[in-house]
Structure 1
Amino acid sequence: MDFSVLNDALSSQSYDKIADICDNLMLQAAAEGIAFHDEWPYAIHLLGHIYVDDINSARFLWKSIPVAIKERTPGIGAVWKIGQRLWTKDYAGVHHALRETNWGPELQGIVAAFAENYTRSIFQLLLSAYSTIGIQDTALFLGMSEDEATKYVLEQGWTLDPSSQMLTVERRAVSSAQKVDPSKLQRLTEYVFHLEH
């Protein structure tokens, strides 16, 4: 089976394309009657679905993996632990599942990218859900030590009350200023001029 498209996506860090590439390759192999179970990159395929937050497809893929392959390939089980934690919204558990495995070289890049994206999305969740939150809870959600979490959110503009150990969430104003395309302005001016004359 030719995995060059998948390898290209991995080497170019196009992780958001991994799930679709693997799904298409799997369909192609099935249509051609190619037996692929033993050589299939299940761990990467699962991570591809997890990376794009498609947990339902990851669950379906997990159920379709032969038990013998799950048992002899520990990376698949480690990836699925991440999926399970996401499914149950165990935010701290996701971080724990990411850290408890020594990821092989073929998975390190996508795991690191997922971890970074996941931390950012959890930060956005905290930003929208809280006006104040304790350091310990923030650290738990972000999968960091209390010092790391405090530093991280302070860099994002939050404030800390040292006496209560509470963080005040600072929502940054979103700029809604739009850049005007000079050619569009010119066309609008000509149109208004035409209407007036």
Structure 2
Amino acid sequence: MDLSAVHAALSDGSYAAVALLCDDLFLEAASRGAATDDWPYAVHLLAHLYLSDLNSARFLWKSTPQEAKDARPELAAVWRIGQCLWNRDYAGVYTAAQGFEWGPQIADFVSAFLESYRKRIFQLLTSAYSTISVADVAHFMGMNEEDATNYAMQNGWSLDASAKMLTVVKPKVKTNQKLDASKLQRLTECVFHLEH
């Protein structure tokens, strides 16, 4: 089985492309009846987690042969991350990812996953809160309180040190929309035509 495209995507850091590559190659191998004993299940599973595609990750896990699950501790470690994501155990995601000695093929991918996950969580916090405690930010971000405070402040939030609360600064919405008279004229003509 030729996994060179998957290895190239991993080497290039094109992690968003890995899930589709793995899906296509896996289906191709299955359609030919090829053995999947050497299939990189851990990479494939992590690729779906990287894209926040939990349903595909669960399906892949359920369809993975039990022998592969039992023989590959790295695969089980990726699945622990998936379980934490599924259960919305935010701190557990970091614990599961950082609590395993990853092999060289997947270590950078796990680091990229954690960075991407941390950014998504921070964006969620930004959209959901106007103020939030330092302890809560640390919990959601998988950091100690000092690092979480520094991360938030580097992203424009402000700290009330006495209350140990962070004030969220919402990003400014950029609008590059310009009113084009010809578009407005076409819209007016279209509405006029529909009404008459």
What is the TM-score with the length of structure 2 in the denominator? 0.88
Superposed, 1:62-141 pairs within 5 Å as 62-141=61-140
CA distance in 1, matches of 2:122, 2:67: 38
Divergent runs of 4+, >4 A: none
Alignment-derived partner of residue 192 in structure 1: none
Instruction: Kindly state the Cα deviation for residue 178 of structure 1 after the two structures are TM-superposed.
Output: 5.0
Deviations 1:87-139 (CA, angstroms, capped at 9, x unpaired): 11111111111111111110012111111110000001101111111111100
Instruction: Kindly state the Cα deviation for residue 176 of structure 1 after the two structures are TM-superposed.
Output: 1.4
CA distance in 1, matches of 2:160, 2:13: 40
CA distance in 2, matches of 1:3, 1:172: 41
CA distance in 1, matches of 2:95, 2:178: 44
CA distance in 1, matches of 2:30, 2:64: 14
Q: Is residue 13 of structure 1 aligned with residue 35 of structure 2? A: no
Alignment-derived partner of residue 193 in structure 2: none
Alignment-derived partner of residue 2 in structure 2: 2
Alignment-derived partner of residue 38 in structure 2: 39
What is the one-letter code of the residue matched to 1:24? Answer: D
What is the one-letter code of the residue matched to 1:79? Answer: V
Secondary structure in 1 aligned to 2:105? helix
Alignment-derived partner of residue 23 in structure 1: 23
What is the one-letter code of the residue matched to 1:109? Answer: D
What is the one-letter code of the residue matched to 2:58? Answer: R
Secondary structure in 1 aligned to 2:172? coil
What is the one-letter code of the residue matched to 2:5? Answer: V
CA distance in 2, matches of 1:8, 1:167: 42
Deviations 1:29-60 (CA, angstroms, capped at 9, x unpaired): 11111111x20100000011111111111101
CA distance in 2, matches of 1:4, 1:99: 28
Instruction: Kindly state the Cα deviation for residue 175 of structure 1 after the two structures are TM-superposed.
Output: 2.0
Instruction: Kindly state the Cα deviation for residue 177 of structure 1 after the two structures are TM-superposed.
Output: 3.3
Alignment-derived partner of residue 185 in structure 2: none
CA distance in 2, matches of 1:86, 1:144: 17
Secondary structure in 2 aligned to 1:35? coil
CA distance in 2, matches of 1:60, 1:177: 41
Aligned-pair RMSD on alpha carbons?
Answer: 2.0
CA distance in 1, matches of 2:7, 2:40: 11
Alignment-derived partner of residue 170 in structure 2: 171
What is the TM-score with the length of structure 1 in the denominator? 0.88
CA distance in 2, matches of 1:17, 1:3: 13
Alignment-derived partner of residue 153 in structure 2: 154
CA distance in 1, matches of 2:113, 2:70: 24
Alignment-derived partner of residue 191 in structure 1: none
Q: What fraction of aligned residue pairs are identical, expressed as a percent?
A: 52
Show structure 2 runs of 5+ residues with no match.
Answer: 183-196
